[in-house]
Structure 1
Amino acid sequence: MRFGITILPEYTWAEAAPKWRRAEELGFDHAWTYDHLTWGGLPDHPWYGTTPTLTAAALVTERIRLGTFVTSPNFRHPLSLTREILALDDISGGRFVCGIGSGGGIDSTILGGDPLTPRQTVDRLAEFVALLDRLLLEDGVTVEGEYFSTNNARTRPGCIQQPRVPFVMAANGPRSLRLAVKYGAGWVTTGRKSDDFETWFASVEELSAKLDETLAKTPKPGFERHLALDSARYSLSSPEAFEHVVRRAHGLGFTDVITHYPRAEGVYAGSEEVLTEVATSVIPRLRKELAYT
């Protein structure tokens, strides 16, 4: 079992830098930040750019993997994103992971235009990830798509990580799950939205079973399964709450879990004392007890 933490890009760098360092010092395997222009959970709060944040995080850490949670086609083009991925992969020394999803929320309409239908959203995701995959693997890519096009797109020097930076893909439906297995090194889910923990976890179980069905048709050894723990209740509300949800996630075959760095108030409100206790006492024990063989 691997453990990750998400640090929202709401802080000045003077405030954020100690949190990214702390995440590494506490032994987390990966650290993430949201990739939004505006996040619906904190629409009136300060918000900083994802790529500069992860670049700065790479410079104040040495070991921990760094990722987007998650990048979407809402305001990204695969070619401009490729340049940012190449830079992050280089600056981090091959520690960058690209989380990718279909997109939604405020970002889906903030730049104008009509909302897409669910089918169109997945169509766009399929085109987005297929082109991004090609751009990270090939040089001089020409594609004429419905949503994205390139004309002799040059993408040298390529990734440090070979054959390319890994994708961890968010997916719920059959088509997006197939895309996750085809292009991703792993899958991430937040489950379906619910304020009731048991209802939420039942949705996680349902989605995990759908992934099992997809992998049964298209086996992919070593495929990772990431669960964002904090959708129904904050997992760091207590050490006991964290251990409870991690054990249940392990029972469904999740290889990775992700919580959020505690905030002072509101969403994900908690204490750094609980974070420290979880990281220094609970996680080391769970690593041993829940090790996959």
Structure 2
Amino acid sequence: MRYGICILPEHSWVQAEPLWRDAEERGFDHAWTYDHLTWAGLPDSPWHSTMVTLGLAGSVTQRIGLGTFVASPNFRHPVTFMRDVLTVDDVSRGRLLLGLGAGGDLDAEILGHRLTRGQRSRRFREFVPLLDRVLREDHVDHSGEFFGARDARNRPGCVQQPRVPFVVAANGPRAMALAARYGDGWMTTGPVGQVDPDEHDTARVEQWWRGIEEISRRYTEIETETQRDGTRADRPADRYLSLDASGVPALRSAGFFAEQVGRAHELGFTDVVVHRPRESDPYRAPLAVLDQIDLPAAPGPSGRNLES
């Protein structure tokens, strides 16, 4: 099992820098931050640039993987985003992880765009393959429903070869198919929106885990089919679980954290991600719990093939 922590981009860099250093010093394998223009969970909070934050984090750490949690086509174009990706991958010396998801409505609406659920799904299915191409190939041309590219250059290319790892967030079958085909990792939040918020914590967590079991089973079926039909011939993707997605912070106690990690391991997840405890909701938990959990020493994220 590998362990990740998500640090929201709500702090000035003077405040944030020690948090990223601390994540590495505590032994986390990867650290993440949200990729939004504004996040609905903290609409009035200060909010900073994701890729600038990750670049700065890469300059003050040595080992830990650094990821987007998650980048989406709501305000990202594959060609322009590719430039940010190449730069952060370079600054971090090959430690960037690209969490990718379809995204919700808020960021797109800020830019004056309003898409149906079907349009968002089709846009994501165009976004991921095109981002894959522009990170692997030089001189890319593309004309699609949502994106275009004309002789897009990708010099100097990624430090990580053949490209930066994709960790594709997916709960539904179409996005899971993308994860199985293009993802070095698959990430899930489970049945978010289907857990009864009026239930007490224990019932909510149990309801969420039942959903995780079903989603994990479905992903296994889709991944197996993808490998069988030859769409993807390499190793199965790593499996990432956002442990706080039940609505009950996994770090509310060391014992609860250990229990949640154990259940994730039993279902075949290779990686878990928790949020750094905050003093208020969301993700309110005692900061002292970080001192009470025992993370095994680890060399960093797996699956990275760096240029020599």
- The bucket for the TM-score relative to the shorter chain is over 0.9
Query: How is 1:57-206 mapped onto 2 (pairs within 5 angstroms)?
Result: 57-114=57-114, 116-193=115-192, 194=195, 195=197, 196-206=204-214
Q: Secondary structure of 1:218's match?
A: helix
For residues 223 and 173 of structure 1, the distance between their equivalents in structure 2, rounded to whole angstroms, comes to 17
Q: Which amino acid letter does the alignment assign opposite residue 88 of structure 1? A: V
Q: What's the secondary structure of 2:168's corresponding residue?
A: strand
- Counterpart amino acid of residue 125 in structure 1: F
Superposition pairs for residues 8-47 of structure 1, below 5 Å? 8-47=8-47
Deviation at 1:261, TM superposition (A): 0.6
1:222 CA drift (Å): 4.1
Whole-angstrom CA distance in 1 between matches of 2:254 and 2:45: 28
Query: Match for 1:2: what amino acid?
Result: R
Residues 102 and 144 of structure 1: CA distance in aligned 2, closer, same or farther (over 3 Å): same
Query: Is 1:191–1:200's contact at 8 Å kept on the other side of the alignment?
Result: yes
Task: Report the alpha carbon displacement of residue 181 of structure 1 after superposing the two structures with TM.
Answer: 0.9
- Structure 2 SS opposite 1:119: helix
Give the SS at the match of 2:288: helix
Q: Distance in 2 between matches of 1:100 and 1:246?
A: 23
Structure 1 residue corresponding to 2:254, chosen from 239, 243, 248: 239
> Secondary structure in 1 aligned to 2:274?
strand
Gaps of 5+ in 2: 198-203, 228-233, 299-308
> Which of 209, 220, 223 is the matching residue for 1:215?
223
State the one-letter code of the partner of 1:277.
Answer: Q
Match of 2:230 in 1: none
Q: Report the AA paired with residue 14 of structure 1.
A: V
Larger mean CA deviation between 243-252 and 265-274 belongs to: 265-274
Secondary structure at 1:79's aligned position in 2?
helix
**Cα root mean square deviation, aligned:** 1.3
Write the distance in 1 (CA, Å) between the matches of 2:252 and 2:285.
Answer: 6
Secondary structure of 2:82 counterpart:
helix
Structure richer in helix, relative to its length:
1
Tell me which residue corresponds to 1:291: none
Shift of 1:259: 0.3
Instruction: Work out whether residues 71 and 98 of structure 2, in 8 Å CA contact, stay in contact via their aligned partners in 1.
Output: yes
- Could you tell me whether the CA contact under 8 Å between 2:65 and 2:96 is conserved in 1? yes
- Alpha-carbon distance in structure 1 between the residues aligned to 2:128 and 2:54: 21
- Report if the CA contact (8 A) 1:40-1:105 is conserved: no
Q: If the length of structure 1 is used for normalisation, what is the TM-score?
A: 0.93
Indicate the percent of aligned positions where both proteins have the same amino acid. 52
* Paired AA for residue 235 in structure 1: A
Q: TM-score when scaled to structure 2?
A: 0.89
Q: Please tell me whether residue 284 in structure 1 is matched to residue 292 in structure 2.
A: no
Query: Quick check: 1:266 aligned with 2:281?
Result: yes
C-alpha distance in 2, partners of 1:85/1:268? 28
Equivalences, count: 282
1:153-206 C-alpha deviation (Å, 9 max, x unpaired): 111110010000000000111111111111110100111222411111111111
